[in-house]
């Protein structure tokens, strides 16, 4: 059974069967990653370009590794948006790349909507690796995979996304994906970090981190962007840490198992302490490995569709 | 040369006129209104106007012509051609050109460049130097040179003390101050702020950014006794505030752009930059209140905010694409389709909002259907069904979300003095 779309632009509207298929397929590739020879010939002869208009070494490396493990040919095109604004337009760049006869494009861009636009001007399969504040579907898929790996299920779990939800594509993709999979999703953070209309998505909003810890099975802790937030949405990172930081003491108060995710990179001592980030409840390093497996699954499922 | 409009429905609410008649125009002057005998029309160019309306020439008080500065996007001539094609005999052009219209020299340049065209072009002067909101533009000089209003359009007059000065100063000339109402500190976004901006991952501009400035402007109009005109109103609350202000007798008027009574922010789901404008497309609640405001007269006029942009500029990533869409050549068709045929407005009310009220706001005479008056009129076929085709636009640009849209109602000819535009061509009569 193939996926219902030949692109992965986001998780909004993606059916449950598709998400399950990706998660199940990733289990196989996760096993491959534990073998001495971590390479399969699945996408041999396919050419994939990683079109990164925003600096994100982690995501790019994860995709690149996934592509190499699948034996695809990989081309990296990384550029800062400031230089493209002056020079070649985005459309021209894509036309040029398109002329190189490639099969898939993995795109990261500062502007929401760019992956959708790509589907209109290119014949390749498009995979969104993060567009503006919009979606980052492979991140949410690997988060769900990591939750399932640890807790055996997603359905019925209570998952809280903590931090600057308003400026997070990770949060939005997680909300869509988790809800589709039957989890109860909530968000926690100061009101200034909550996006407009969030309650209309059927998402509970907490402003009290202790309550969020008490009532949830999983915390997905977002990175606090020092440059963006201090002074405008929070008084200081110190105050944020004091009221919303995930600390061992806070968790200990509730004497329960809780799973801690973090999409990285971590600001230790701000949104999470080292004790928690390196402690028994975290799955943060698993997330990194699982990320490669999820991206292999997505690339494989899209790359072998026709 | 003589021209006859045969069996035309003459509508001019300003004259309380709504009757079928024939009109004889000679050398640009109305010579006779009423039954015309065969021999009277023997040597005339006769336009059969059965089923058509003649209205006082339509007027668009919010147009961006781009000249001087961005002649690659629009010139005074191509913009005027687009206006004629859209049924307008007069337009007011906004001052955000390069240089801004903040000197008498630039005002005279525009008037000079447009003087031989069918369409009358009236410059709107900048309220402040360089539209920076810091120092008054030489408003008295600009008035003498021929401006009909001032505005810093593109941005609000941000400094309240400067706004006060602008209003007090303009009060001496009964000159309206047109404000682009938007608090810049709340307006860092690419679409309306709300559930859709959250879902689409775009920074939102909430309606409060507009409402705050509308409230300030209304209070300032009351305080100074001068006239404020709210450009492109888009939020429900702002409409309500204007309604209340008018009840109190405060001198405030308002215009709406066709896209704000046609579309809502659901359109952005396509990330089509032809739906990116400022103020942004809002929600159904806002659209419904705008419709109410049009109906009850809170909103005085319809103005296109015609904003030409090159394809290269507009076909960009959504957050980088410039704001604004074309409007001159689709405005009448949209207004007839969305307002008259959907029974929101009567034809008379539409003509008030597209011709009479904008002229009155700008202190310009309203054309009359009267013997001895200069002919200044638009012939409209309200039932003509047509499809918008942006490749046929007279405008130099193509950025229109209405391309391929089916509309009902169109201008078939405009006459201004000794000039006529009909069947895609200008002629002297
Ligand atoms: Zn404006
Ligand atoms: Zn404007």
CB B323 within 8 A of CB B259: no
**A21 has a chain B CB within 8 A of its CB:** no
How wide is the angle at C-alpha A107 spanned by C-alphas A106 and A110, nearest 5°?
A: 165
Residue ranges of the alpha helices (H) in B119-189? 139-145, 160-171
Instruction: Return the residue in A12, A197, A231, A233 with the most chain B beta carbons within 10 A, the one to mutate for interface testing.
Output: A197
CB A107 within 8 A of CB A135: no
Whether pTM exceeds 0.90: yes
Q: Give the pLDDT of residue A89.
A: 80
Torsion sign, CA atoms B22, B26, B27, B31: negative
Ligand nearest to the CA of B66: 2
Residues 184-203 of A with CB under 8 A from B: 195-198, 200-201
Task: Tell me which residue of B80, B123, B113, B5 sits closest to B426, measured CA to CA.
Answer: B80
Long-range CB contacts (< 8 A, 24+ apart) of A114-117? A114/A53, A114/A90, A114/B317, A114/B318, A115/A7, A115/A9, A115/A10, A116/A9, A116/B270, A116/B271, A117/B271, A117/B317
Q: Give the pLDDT of residue A256.
A: 86
Residues 150-189 of A with CB under 8 A from B: 166, 169, 172
Q: Is the ipTM of this complex over 0.90?
A: yes
User: A197, B315: Cβ pair inside 8 Å?
Assistant: no
**B195 has a chain A CB within 8 A of its CB:** yes
- Packing angle between helix B208-224 and helix B236-247, nearest 10 degrees? 20
User: B271, A113: Cβ pair inside 8 Å?
Assistant: yes
Per-residue pLDDT of B261-297, as tens digits, reads 999 999 999 999 999 999 999 999 999 999 999 999 9
Across chain B, mean pLDDT equals: 97
User: A110, B319: Cβ pair inside 8 Å?
Assistant: yes
User: B271, A135: Cβ pair inside 8 Å?
Assistant: no
Task: Tell me which residue of B327, B339, B323 sits closest to B382, measured CA to CA.
Answer: B339
- Nearest C-alpha of chain B: how many angstroms from A39? 36
CA of A132 to the centre of ligand 2 (A): 27
CA of B95 to the centre of ligand 2 (A): 9
Residues of chain A with C-beta less than 8 angstroms from the C-beta of B320: 81, 85, 111
Instruction: Return the residue in B201, B208, B280, B310 with the most chain A beta carbons within 10 A, the one to mutate for interface testing.
Output: B201
**B266 has a chain A CB within 8 A of its CB:** no
- Position B128 confidence tier, pLDDT thresholds 50, 70, 90: very high
**B209 has a chain A CB within 8 A of its CB:** no
> Which of B211, B265, B305, B381 is flagged as catalytic?
B305
Residues of chain A with C-beta less than 8 angstroms from the C-beta of B318: 111-114
Per-residue pLDDT of B179-222, as tens digits, reads 999 999 999 999 999 999 999 999 999 999 999 999 999 999 99
Query: Which residues have their alpha-adjacent CB atom under 5 A from ion ligand 2?
Result: B 153, 305
Ligand nearest to the CA of B124: 2
Per-residue pLDDT of A220-278, as tens digits, reads 999 998 777 777 889 999 999 999 999 999 999 998 889 999 998 999 999 999 999 99
Q: Which residue of B has its CA nearest to A198?
A: B195
Ligand nearest to the CA of B97: 2
Residues of chain A with C-beta less than 8 angstroms from the C-beta of B270: 116
Cα Rg of chain B (Å, integer): 21
Task: Tell me which residue of B277, B178, B272, B165 sits closest to B227, measured CA to CA.
Answer: B178
- Nearest C-alpha of chain A: how many angstroms from B319? 6
Pairing of strands B53-56, B376-387: antiparallel
Q: Which residues of A114-131 are buried (b: 16+ CB within 10 A; e: fewer)?
A: bbbbbbeebebbbbbbbb
- Topology of the domain covering A16-135+291-303: Rossmann fold (3.40.50)
- DSSP characters for A50-98? EEESS--HHHHHHHHHHHHHTT-EEEEEE--HHHHHHSS-HHHHHHHHH
User: B317, A110: Cβ pair inside 8 Å?
Assistant: yes
Cβ neighbours of residue B317 closer than 8 Å, sequence gap 6 or more: A90, A109, A110, A111, A113, A114, A117
Q: How many A-B residue pairs are in contact by the CB < 8 A criterion? A: 69
- Position B105 confidence tier, pLDDT thresholds 50, 70, 90: very high
Distance (Å, whole) CA B170 – CA B182: 21
Q: Give the pLDDT of residue A83.
A: 52
Residue with the bigger pLDDT between B40 and B338: it is B338
Distance (Å, whole) CA B387 – CA B293: 28
Task: Judge whether B305 counts as a catalytic residue.
Answer: yes
Judge if the upstream peptide bond of residue A265 is cis by omega within 30 degrees of 0.
Answer: yes
- Position B37 confidence tier, pLDDT thresholds 50, 70, 90: confident
- Nearest C-alpha of chain A: how many angstroms from B8? 48
Judge if the upstream peptide bond of residue B35 is cis by omega within 30 degrees of 0.
Answer: no
Judge if the upstream peptide bond of residue B99 is cis by omega within 30 degrees of 0.
Answer: yes
Residues of chain B with C-beta less than 8 angstroms from the C-beta of A111: 317-320
Residues of chain B with C-beta less than 8 angstroms from the C-beta of A131: 201
Of B198, B271, B316, the CB nearest to A195: B198
**B311 has a chain A CB within 8 A of its CB:** no
Distance (Å, whole) CA B306 – CA B301: 15
Q: What is the CATH number of domain A137-287?
A: 3.40.50.1370
Task: Tell me which residue of B289, B262, B291, B259 sits closest to B277, measured CA to CA.
Answer: B259
CB A139 within 8 A of CB A263: yes
Structure tokens at B356: 């009479």
Q: Give the pLDDT of residue A87.
A: 59
Indicate where chain A has its CATH 3.40.50.1370 domain(s): 16-135+291-303, 137-287
Cβ neighbours of residue B335 closer than 8 Å, sequence gap 6 or more: B258, B302, B350, B353, B354, B409
Distance (Å, whole) CA A196 – CA B130: 35
User: B315, A172: Cβ pair inside 8 Å?
Assistant: no
Regions in chain A scoring below 50 on pLDDT: none
Of A81, A89, A198, the CB nearest to B198: A198
Of A133, A166, A200, the CB nearest to B195: A200
């Amino acid at each position: 059974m193939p996926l219902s779309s030949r692109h992965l632009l986001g998780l909004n509207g993606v059916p449950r069967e598709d998400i399950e298929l990706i998660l199940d397929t990733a289990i196989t590739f996760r096993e491959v990653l534990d073998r001495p020879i971590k390479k399969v010939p699945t996408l041999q002869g396919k050419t994939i370009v990683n079109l990164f208009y925003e600096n994100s070494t982690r995501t790019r490396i994860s995709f690149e590794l996934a592509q190499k493990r699948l034996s695809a040919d990989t081309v990296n095109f990384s550029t800062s948006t400031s230089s493209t604004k002056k020079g070649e337009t985005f459309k021209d760049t894509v036309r040029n790349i398109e002329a190189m006869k490639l099969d898939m494009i993995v795109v990261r861009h500062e502007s929401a909507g760019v992956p959708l636009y790509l589907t209109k001007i290119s014949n390749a399969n498009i995979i969104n690796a993060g567009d503006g504040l919009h979606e980052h579907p492979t991140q949410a898929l690997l988060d769900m995979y990591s939750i399932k790996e640890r807790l055996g299920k997603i359905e019925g779990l209570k998952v809280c996304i903590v931090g600057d939800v308003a400026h997070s594509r990770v949060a939005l993709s997680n909300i869509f994906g988790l809800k589709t999979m039957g989890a109860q999703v909530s968000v926690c953070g100061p009101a200034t970090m909550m996006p407009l209309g969030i309650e209309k998505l059927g998402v509970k909003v907490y402003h009290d981190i202790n309550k969020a810890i008490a009532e949830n099975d999983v915390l997905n802790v977002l990175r606090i962007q020092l440059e963006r937030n201090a002074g405008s949405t929070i008084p200081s990172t110190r105050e944020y840490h004091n009221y919303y930081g995930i600390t061992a003491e806070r968790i200990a108060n509730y004497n329960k198992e809780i799973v801690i995710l973090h999409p990285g990179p971590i600001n230790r001592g701000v949104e999470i302490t080292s004790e928690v980030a390196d402690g028994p409840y975290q799955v943060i390093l698993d997330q990194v490995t699982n990320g490669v497996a999820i991206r292999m699954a997505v690339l494989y499922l899209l790359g072998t569709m026709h | 040369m003589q021209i006859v409009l045969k069996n035309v429905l003459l509508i001019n609410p300003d004259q309380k006129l709504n009757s079928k008649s024939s009109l004889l125009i000679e050398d640009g002057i109305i010579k006779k209104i009423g039954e015309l005998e065969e021999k009277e029309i023997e040597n005339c160019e006769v336009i059969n106007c059965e089923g058509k309306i003649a209205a006082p020439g339509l007027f668009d008080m919010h147009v961006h012509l781009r000249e001087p500065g961005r002649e690659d996007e629009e010139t005074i001539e191509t913009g005027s051609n687009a206006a004629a094609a859209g049924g307008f005999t007069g337009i007011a052009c906004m001052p955000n050109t390069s240089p801004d219209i903040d000197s008498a020299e630039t005002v005279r340049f525009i008037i000079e460049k447009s003087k031989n065209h069918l369409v009358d072009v009236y410059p709107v002067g900048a309220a402040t130097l360089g539209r920076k909101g810091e120092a008054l533009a030489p408003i008295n000089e600009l008035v003498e040179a021929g401006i009909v209003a001032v505005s810093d359009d593109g941005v609000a007059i941000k400094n309240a003390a400067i706004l006060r000065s602008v209003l007090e100063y303009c009060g001496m000339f009964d000159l309206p101050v047109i404000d682009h109402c938007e608090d810049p500190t709340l307006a860092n976004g690419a679409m309306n702020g709300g559930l859709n901006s959250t879902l689409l991952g775009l920074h939102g501009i909430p309606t409060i950014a507009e409402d705050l400035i509308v409230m300030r402007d209304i209070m300032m109009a009351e305080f100074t006794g001068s006239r404020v005109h709210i450009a492109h109103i888009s939020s429900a609350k702002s409409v309500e505030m204007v309604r209340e202000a008018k009840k109190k007798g405060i001198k405030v008027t308002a215009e709406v752009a066709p896209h704000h009574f046609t579309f809502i922010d659901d359109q952005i789901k396509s990330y089509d930059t032809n739906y990116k404008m400022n103020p942004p497309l809002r929600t159904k609640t806002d659209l419904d209140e705008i419709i109410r405001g049009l109906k009850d007269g809170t909103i005085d006029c319809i103005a296109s905010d015609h904003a030409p942009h090159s394809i290269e500029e507009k076909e960009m990533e959504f957050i980088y694409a410039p704001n604004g869409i074309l409007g001159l050549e689709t405005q009448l068709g949209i207004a007839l389709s969305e307002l008259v045929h959907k029974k929101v407005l009567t034809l008379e009310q539409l003509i008030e909002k597209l011709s009479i009220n904008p002229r009155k706001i700008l202190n310009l005479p309203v054309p009359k259907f009267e013997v001895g008056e200069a002919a200044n009129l638009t012939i409209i076929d309200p039932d003509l069904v047509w499809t918008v085709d942006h490749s046929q636009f007279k405008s130099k640009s193509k950025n229109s979300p209405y391309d391929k849209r089916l509309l009902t109602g169109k201008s078939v000819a405009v006459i201004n003095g000794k000039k006529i535009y009909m069947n895609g061509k200008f002629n002297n009569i």
